[in-house]
Amino acid sequence: MTARHSRGNSGQVTVLVALLMIPLLGISGLVIDVGYAYFTQRTLQAQADAAALAGAQRLPDAGATVVQAKQYGSGRDAKNYETRLGTVTESVTTKCLRTVPGCDPVNAVVVDETARVSTLFVKVLGIHTFNIHVRSTACSPCGTRPLDIMMVLDRTGSMCQDHNGNTQAGCPDLAHARDGMKTFLGLLNPDSDWVGLAVLPPATSTGNRCTTPQTANYDSTSAAYTLVPLSHDYSTNGVLNNNSQLVSTINCQQANGETSYATAIEKAQAELDAHGRQNVRKVIVFFSDGAANRGPGYYSTTSPYRKTPCHQGVSSAATVKGRGTIVYSIGYDLDAANGGANQCRSLSGSGPLEQPGITAYQALQQIASNAQAFYNQPTPGQLNTIFAQVAEDIQRGASGLIDNDTL
């Protein structure tokens, strides 16, 4: 009797488990589908914000505002087009907000984006799609908070190499970096945002800002890391001024030499200290495609600048952040040359690994002020999107973006 009773209970449990599996699978599928819908919503919102900020730079010209916003939206030919989102319906309009100054004839741009996300698992529950809608509104002028910004450009020799370390004619990686930086400038407001440029390797002097850099330049105490001091003539009404020192210097950059983070970060902060405005938020946007592998020759071989150049970059950034400066870091193609570009080594690119061990990815991640300020992108061709996201982030809550619920 006992054995039969036990087998009977076992059969009942099997039936119950089978019945419970259906709702459990449904719940698990719902979690996955809702998670992807949330990812889509966040991506769309970021794109709408970038589009609205870009369009706001052309206000009060309504026609030009709509055109520029669409260039940074989610359309198939836009800079922020994302294939994973499928077809996105986008609407860009302008309006007059009486709650902020400067309505002549319009002072705000509204970007609406809608995407339909197909489900994978919850179709069994009769839910075949989720409709995602986001809206972003930006104004200009609208009492934005000013910024002092130093861009730091890695212009080392790897910027002229492909993923496998082969030299590429025309330095496409450097070209992508130039385009990304100019995209960044196009989203800023020169009336309130001052921007300068520092580089690594440095130049022998500011007069040689366009000359091909050499690794030996690091060894001079008079080397020029800051090629362009803080300036605000880089654009007019959202159109870049190619005759400005900042834009012309970005356009003429050439690539060569090895990588050293620390002094470039320190010199960028020195420019913010020397020529930054009082009570204005300070920002450094640091950009590199590989590991630090050397330091200035005027330091001894036991100095952390030369013995542990990646760790010293992190340490220099920590000092900068301690002064209240916000640091963004952008890394791309960090696993180039079969991961070799990601290895932090002492003294030179062929020296021993740094101890304690650290990779370029980890160094750039720690250089940033927080996880949200670190951008890693293995595809250099998408740098426009990254720089647009950085511009959006540093202006969030302090520039042209408006809470739609308050309109």
Question: Is 82 domain-assigned?
Answer: yes
Point out the domain boundary residue: 73, 106, 139.
139
Burial class, 399, CB count within 10 angstroms (exposed 0-12 / middle 13-18 / buried 19+): buried
The Cβ of residue 342 has, within 10 Å, a number of other Cβ atoms equal to 19
- Helices 383-395, 172-186: crossing angle, 10 deg rounding: 30
**Domain containing residue 328: CATH number:** 3.40.50.410
Q: Read out DSSP for 228-251? A: EEEES-SEETTEE-TTSHHHHHHH
Alpha-carbon distance of 217 to 296, in angstroms, equals: 8
Residue 335 pLDDT: 84
Alpha-carbon distance of 271 to 276, in angstroms, equals: 7
Question: Is 406 domain-assigned?
Answer: no
Residue 42 pLDDT: 83
319 φ/ψ angles, rounded to the nearest 5 degrees: -65, -45
Question: Is 407 domain-assigned?
Answer: no
Alpha-carbon distance of 341 to 157, in angstroms, equals: 12
Q: Are 91 and 83 in contact (CB under 8 A)?
A: no
Alpha-carbon distance of 343 to 307, in angstroms, equals: 14
- Domain hosting 6: range is 2-139
Question: Is 404 domain-assigned?
Answer: no
Distance of CA 395 to the CA centre of its chain: 13
Residue 33 pLDDT: 59
Those residues with Cβ within 8 angstroms of residue 161's Cβ, 6 or more apart along the chain or in another chain:
167, 168, 173, 336, 337
Instruction: Average pLDDT across each block of 10 residues of the chain; the chain has 407 residues. List them in order.
Output: 50 56 57 71 86 86 92 79 76 83 77 82 68 88 80 96 91 93 90 95 98 97 98 90 98 97 98 96 96 94 95 98 96 83 82 93 96 80 81 61 60
Q: What is the pTM of this model?
A: 0.67
Helix (H, G, I), strand (E, B) or coil at 57: coil
Question: Is 87 domain-assigned?
Answer: yes
Question: Is 69 domain-assigned?
Answer: yes
Q: Are 291 and 363 in contact (CB under 8 A)?
A: yes
Residue 103 pLDDT: 66
Nearest residue to 109 (alpha-carbon basis) of 76, 81, 142, 78: 142
Q: For residues 85 and 210, state if they share a domain.
A: no
Q: Are 266 and 314 in contact (CB under 8 A)?
A: no
Question: Is 22 domain-assigned?
Answer: yes
Alpha-carbon distance of 45 to 113, in angstroms, equals: 8
Q: Are 331 and 360 in contact (CB under 8 A)?
A: yes
Residue 230 pLDDT: 98
Q: For residues 49 and 88, state if they share a domain.
A: yes
Residue 241 pLDDT: 97
Residue 86 pLDDT: 67
For the chain, what is the domain count? Answer: 2
Q: For residues 210 and 127, state if they share a domain.
A: no
Nearest residue to 312 (alpha-carbon basis) of 273, 347, 272, 274: 347
Question: Is 405 domain-assigned?
Answer: no
Residue 291 pLDDT: 95
Residue 75 pLDDT: 75
115 φ/ψ angles, rounded to the nearest 5 degrees: -135, 145
Residues of 244-263 as b/e, b for ≥16 C-beta within 10 angstroms? bbbbebbeebebbbbbbbbb
